[in-house]
Amino acid sequence: MKATLLLAALIAAPAFAQTPPASIDQLFIPAPWWMKDPVIAAMGHVRTEVPANRARFAARFSVVEKTAAAATTAATAKAKELDAALAALGKDRVRLTTSLSTRPLYDQYRQKDGTLVENQRADMIESYEVTAVLSVEVRDADVLERAYRLAVAARPSAIDTPSFNLEPENGLKTWLYEAAIKDAARRARLATAAAGSRLGGVKVIDPSGGVCQTQMLAGWPSYAGESSATDVQVSGSMARYADAAPTMMSAPAPPPPPGLEKLASDVQVTLQPPLYPLTAQACVIYGLLPPG
């Protein structure tokens, strides 16, 4: 009999463990274990600004020839010198992608009344325009201006204005999360001191911040608000991000081919990566102790 009851209990245990604490649309739900004693929920919210660590632009070399093959050969030959110069900066610093676009140019003529006849027939192709597009992604701020000067010196048919973006590295994300935890601790200490209480031990640390935004703590959604972020300065081992220093390499870049070196030295370009904001939140639940 005891064995039968034990077996039934073991079978029912998984189903019982998976039962949610409350059903959907239930008005009241059981409080979590960490709310059985007095607690304070502190939301750490920090904000900082760091320079962009990626830059992109493209240089285009267009050539018109009678045949598509001849135009392709000429366009790629024009882009070849710049490709070699940028590749010499290091593949970890500069990523290159070359693409080609071909456009047929049709025989056009004007009639006696001045009307332009635009042919779009395959048998009326007069020549071909081929554009070699060299797309450049700069991953090291130290070589950004140098790469752009080389592109200008190569005398392309067109060159884009650089666009910037930020891709935070894991080290910076970790540092910012730690800053959010410290900000939560600071806010909790200030609140307990103002209320005449004492701060107890940590009960919950939630990197997502969701625990501090539950209805039990924040009230109904219409009453829930978000605290303003605390500005933090990137310092210490993370200082290189604030200075837009190289992110991966420290060795100097090799000189580009001499053909473009002199021309690039005459190009005056100043490119300053813009600042991008980064924020992080973390929720920390502390126990409360009675006044000492």
What is the DSSP track for 47-72?
EEEEE--EEEEEEEEEEEESSHHHHH
Would you say residue 38 has pLDDT above 70?
Answer: yes
Q: Which amino acid is at 225?
A: G
More confident residue, 111 or 145: 145
pLDDT value of position 223: 36
The least confident of 27-36, 106-115, 121-130, 148-157 is 27-36
pLDDT tens digits, 207-250:
877 777 765 554 433 334 556 778 777 765 555 555 543 343 34
In angstroms, rounded to a whole number, what is the distance separating the alpha carbons of residues 271 and 146?
Answer: 10
DSSP, residue by residue, 159-170: EPPPEEE----H
Mean per-residue pLDDT, 7-18: 43
Of the candidates 253, 37, 61, the residue with the CA atom closest to the CA atom of residue 158: 61
More confident residue, 98 or 9: 98
pLDDT value of position 245: 39
Would you say residue 116 has pLDDT above 90?
Answer: no
More confident residue, 134 or 123: 134
Give the model's confidence band at 24: pLDDT under 50 very low, under 70 low, under 90 confident, else very high: low
Mean per-residue pLDDT, 184-205: 91
pLDDT value of position 39: 87
Indicate the pTM of the whole model: 0.68
pLDDT value of position 107: 81
Average pLDDT, the chain: 79
Q: Are 286 and 184 in contact (CB under 8 A)?
A: no
Of the candidates 190, 188, 72, 45, the residue with the CA atom closest to the CA atom of residue 133: 72
Opening angle at CA 16, ends 14 and 17, nearest 5? 65
